[in-house]
A and B are shown apart, each in its own frame.
Chain A
Amino acid sequence: MIRLRLERRLDPPGYLSWVVPVVSVVLALVASGLLLLAFGANPIETYAAMWDGAFGDIFGGEFYSVSETLVRATPLILTGLAVAVAFKMKFWNIGAEGQLVMGGIAASGVALFLPEAAPGIPQNLVVYGLLMGGAAILAGALWALIPALLKAYLNVSEIIVTLMLNYIAILWYSQLFTTSWKDPAGFGFPGSALFPEYTWLPRFFNTRVNLAIFIGLLAAVFVWVLLSKTRAGYEIRLLGDNPEAARFAGVSMFRNIILVMLVSGGLAGLAGMGEVAGISHKLQQGLSANNGFTAIIVAWVAKLQPWAIVLVSILLAAVFVGGDQIQMTMGLPASVAQVVQGIMLFFVLGGDIFSRYRIRVVRQHVEAPA
C-alpha cells in the first residue's frame, strides 16, 4: 500500500524558488491545452495568439501590445503593493478595490471642480498632478483608516469591514457619475465631463502608457525601503511573523495597524488616480475593474515581495490582455478565456506548496504472518 504524505521542508533548497513556478506554468499550459483541445482549438496556435496579444512583436521593435500589457499592469502594481504591505503584518485588507475607487473619486473631484472653485491655482500638470495625487492618497488612506480604527479599538474583523466598504465606495461612485457629477452636456447619459487637458497624466511613445506606471515603480521602491530598511518595517514584519514576540518587545500593534492601513489605502488610492487621470480622463463606469481583488492574487503569487509584485502584475496583465485573443483570434467563448486564466492561477498558487513541503511516498508492507 502506498500513501503520499506532505512533509514540511526544513531547509528548502534555493533552486525550488524558480523550478516550482516554471513547472507550475508548464503544467498549467498543458492542462489548459487539454481544455482548448476539447473546444476544438489548437493549443499551440492559441498560446501563440495570446503571446501576440500580450507582447506582440516585441523583439522586432513593435511595442504596441506590450504597452497595453503595461497599462493593464499599472493598477495591479499599486494595489498589489497596497495589499502586500498590510498582508506583511497579517492584516487582511480585502478593501483595496474600495480604496482605489475612493482615490479615483477624489482625483476626479479635484480635476472637475477645483479649477472653477479656486481659479487662482496654477492650471498646469505639475500642480494639478500633485493635488490629484495628494487627494487620492488622502481619500484611500482615510477609507482604509475606518477598518484600522475599528480593529485597533474594538477588535472588529478587518476582513469583513474592508470587504463591505468596497461596496459602499463602488455604489457611491456609481451614484456620483449617474447623478450629481454627471456631465451637464452629456444628454443625461451617465459619466462625468472630461477633465481639463492639463490634468491628464502624460503618455509616452504614442501609447496609453502614462506617468502612472512610474508612480507604481516608485511605490515599489518605497514599499521595499519601508519594509526592509526601516524600524517601522521591522515592526510590521515582526507583528506578522510572531505577534507574541512583538508584544514582549514592546512593539505597538495599535500604532502599526494605523500606519499600515494609511500606507495601504494611500497606495490603492493612487491606483484610482492613475486610472482616471491616465486612462479614462473622466469618472465613468468601469473604474473598479476588480483590480483591488486581483491584487490579492498578485500579492500572494509574488510572496509579498515588492519587486516580484511588479513582475507578477505584468505577467498577470499579459494573461488578461492575451486572454482576449482566445476570443478575438480563436473565436472561443469568453468563459473559455476565463477558465484558462483560472487554471494558470490555480497551478501557480497551488504549486507553491511544493516549495514549502516535500511529498514523501510511504510504502506500508503488510507482512504475511509466517
Chain B
Amino acid sequence: MRTGRLSALLLALLLAVAACGGDTATTTVAGTDDTQAPTDTGATDEITKVAFVYVAPIGDLGWTYSHEQGRLAVEALDGVETTFIENVEEGPDAERVIREFAQAGNDIIITTSFGYMDPTLAVAGEFPDVQFVHISGFKNAPNMSNVFGRMYQPRYLTGMIAGAQTESNIIGYVAAFPIPEVIRGINAFTLGVQAVNPDAEVRVVWTNTWFGPPEEKEAAEALLDAGADVIAQHQDTTEPQKAAADRGGYSVGYNTDSRSFVGDSLLSAPIWDWAAKYVPLVEEVRAGTYDGDESFWGGLETGLVDLASYGPSVTQETIDLVEAKKAEMIAGDFDPFCGPIVDQAGVEQVAEGTCMDDGAMLGMFFFVQGVVGEIPEG
C-alpha cells in the first residue's frame, strides 16, 4: 500500500517535469531557429563560433570579469556566436573542456589563464582547423597564438600617481604569486613611484592567491599597520582596496575600474580592455587574414591595457604628468625598463642607454631598488 502511494507520487512528479520540459523545449527551439536560419540556406561559414574558457566565476569582478566584457563585445558582432565556461580548474579537467569546445564546432577557442597553456597546445595539435588563442603564456603552434598585454606600462603610471599621493612615503603592494608577471608589475610600479618621489618605498607582502579575499584583506591590513597610506595589488578581489578605504588610506586597483565598489579612495588602476584585442582578432579570423601563430604583447597603444578613472584626490598636476608619460609610451618614446635600472642589492641590471628586451622582461626575477621585500626562492 505504502509503496503504491509512493510510486504514484513519483509518477506524478515525473509527468509534471516532463510536461514543463515540453513547454521550454518549444521556446528553445524557436530561439535557435533564428540563429540557424542562415546555415540552412547554404551560407555555412557565415557564423563564426567563439568559445571562452574562464578560470574563475565571472562574478570575480576582476580578471575573468574583464574577459567577459571582451566576450560581450565579440558577441555583439554580426555573424558571431559565443559560448563560455567559467570556473575551470587549471588541472586535468582543462584539456577535456577545451577539446569538447573544439569538437562542438567552435572556430575560435580562447583560453584565459596561464595554466591552460599545455592543454591548449595539446588540443590545438588535434584540431588544425580551429584557431586557439591562449592568454598570458608563451607557447605557440600554427593554429595557436599567445596574447597578453604590457600591463607594466599602466602600472608604471599608477606608480607615479601613488608616489605623488603618499605622505608617509610608504606604499604597500599586495602581491599574488612570485612569478615574473607579478614581479614585473611591482618593479614598474616602483619605478613610477620613484620617478615622482625618490624618497618613497614600496613594501611587498605575498598572498600566494589570485582570488583569496581573506588573505588579501589581511595582507593589506598588515601593510597599513606598517605605515603604508597607499595600497596597490595584483589579485582579482577588491579587498585590499576596501581595507585601505576603511583605514582612511588610498588604493590602486587592478583589472577593472572598481570605483563603484570602492569609492573615491581609489586613485586609479591599471586595467584590461580585452575587447580591444578580441574584436579585431575575431574579425581577422573571419576575413581569413589572422596570423594563427601570432605572439601578441600589446601595450597602451593597442588599448588592451589602460588606466582607470582618476580619483578626486589626484591633483591636476599629477594627471598632466601621467598623461604626458602615457603619451610618450604610446608614441614609443619611453619604456619603464630602460636603463639605468639598479636592483635591490645595488647591482646595475640595465645600463644607461639600453632597454630590456621582451625575453628578459618575461623572465624578470629581481626587485628594483626601492622595493622592500623578498622574492621567495626555494
> Using a CB–CB distance below 8 Å, which chain A residues touch chain B?
23, 26-27, 30, 33-34, 37, 40-45, 53, 64, 68, 71-72, 171, 174-176, 178-181, 186-191, 208, 275, 279-280, 282, 284-287, 289, 320-321, 324, 327-329, 331, 333-335
B378 interface residue, CB < 8 Å from A? yes
B100 interface residue, CB < 8 Å from A? yes
Chain B minimum-CB-distance residue to A190:
B179
Does the CB pair A189–B179 fall under 8 Å? yes
> Which of B13, B92, B362 has a CB less than 8 Å from the CB of A30?
B13
Q: Within 8 Å CB of B376, what residues of A?
A: 175, 179
Does the CB pair A180–B91 fall under 8 Å? no
Q: A30 with B14: in contact, given A44-B21, A286-B115, A328-B85 (CB under 8 Å)?
A: yes
In the bound complex, how far is the Cα of B362 from the Cα of A243, in angstroms?
A: 60
Does the CB pair A324–B180 fall under 8 Å? no
> Which of A68, A179, A188 has a CB less than 8 Å from the CB of B364?
A188
Does the CB pair A286–B91 fall under 8 Å? yes
Q: Identify 17 residue pairs between A and B in the complex whose beta-carbon atoms are under 8 Å apart, listed by A's number.
A: A33-B20, A37-B17, A43-B17, A44-B18, A45-B21, A45-B25, A72-B92, A72-B93, A175-B378, A187-B362, A188-B180, A188-B365, A190-B177, A289-B92, A328-B100, A333-B57, A334-B86
> Which of A33, A72, A190 has a CB less than 8 Å from the CB of B21?
A33
In the bound complex, how far is the Cα of B181 from the Cα of A178, in angstroms?
A: 13
Task: Tell me how far the C-beta of B11 lies from the nearest C-beta in chain A, rounded to whole angstroms.
Answer: 10
> Which of A33, A37, A208 has a CB less than 8 Å from the CB of B95?
A208
Q: Within 8 Å CB of A45, what residues of B?
A: 21, 24-25, 28
Does the CB pair A53–B90 fall under 8 Å? no
In the bound complex, how far is the Cα of B255 from the Cα of A229, in angstroms?
A: 60
Interface size on B, residues (CB 8 A): 50
In the bound complex, how far is the Cα of B208 from the Cα of A135, in angstroms?
A: 28
Q: Within 8 Å CB of A331, what residues of B?
A: 83
Q: A328 with B83: in contact, given A37-B20, A44-B25 (CB under 8 Å)?
A: yes
Chain B minimum-CB-distance residue to A52:
B100
Task: Tell me how far the C-beta of A366 lies from the nearest C-beta in chain B, rounded to whole angstroms.
Answer: 24
Q: Within 8 Å CB of A324, what residues of B?
A: 85, 93, 96-97, 100
Chain A minimum-CB-distance residue to B177:
A178
> Which of B24, B57, B103 has a CB less than 8 Å from the CB of A334?
B57
6 more A-B residue pairs beyond the given contacts A208-B95, A286-B90, A333-B58, with a C-beta to C-beta distance below 8 A:
A44-B18, A179-B376, A188-B364, A208-B96, A280-B118, A289-B89
Interface residues of B in 332-378 (CB under 8 A from A): 359, 362-365, 376-378
Does the CB pair A30–B57 fall under 8 Å? no
Task: Tell me how far the C-beta of A3 lies from the nearest C-beta in chain B, rounded to whole angstroms.
Answer: 16
Q: Within 8 Å CB of A186, what residues of B?
A: 138
Q: 6 tightest A-B contacts by CB?
A: A286-B91, A180-B378, A179-B378, A334-B87, A188-B180, A42-B24
In the bound complex, how far is the Cα of B262 from the Cα of A202, in angstroms?
A: 52
Chain B minimum-CB-distance residue to A65:
B100
In the bound complex, how far is the Cα of B24 from the Cα of A42, in angstroms?
A: 6
Does the CB pair B100–A40 fall under 8 Å? no
In the bound complex, how far is the Cα of B51 from the Cα of A179, in angstroms?
A: 33
Q: Within 8 Å CB of B86, what residues of A?
A: 327, 333-334
Chain B minimum-CB-distance residue to A30:
B13
Q: Within 8 Å CB of A287, what residues of B?
A: 91
Instruction: Give per-residue flags for B90-112: 1 if the beta carbon is below 8 A from chain A beta carbons, else 0.
Output: 11111111001101100000000
Q: Within 8 Å CB of B138, what residues of A?
A: 186-187, 189
> Which of A188, A208, A286, A334 has a CB less than 8 Å from the CB of B179?
A188
Q: A285 with B91: in contact, given A44-B21, A44-B25, A187-B180 (CB under 8 Å)?
A: yes
In the bound complex, how far is the Cα of B377 from the Cα of A181, in angstroms?
A: 10
Q: Within 8 Å CB of B72, what residues of A?
A: none
Instruction: Give per-residue flags for B112-153: 1 if the beta carbon is below 8 A from chain A beta carbons, else 0.
Output: 001100100000000000000000011000000000000000
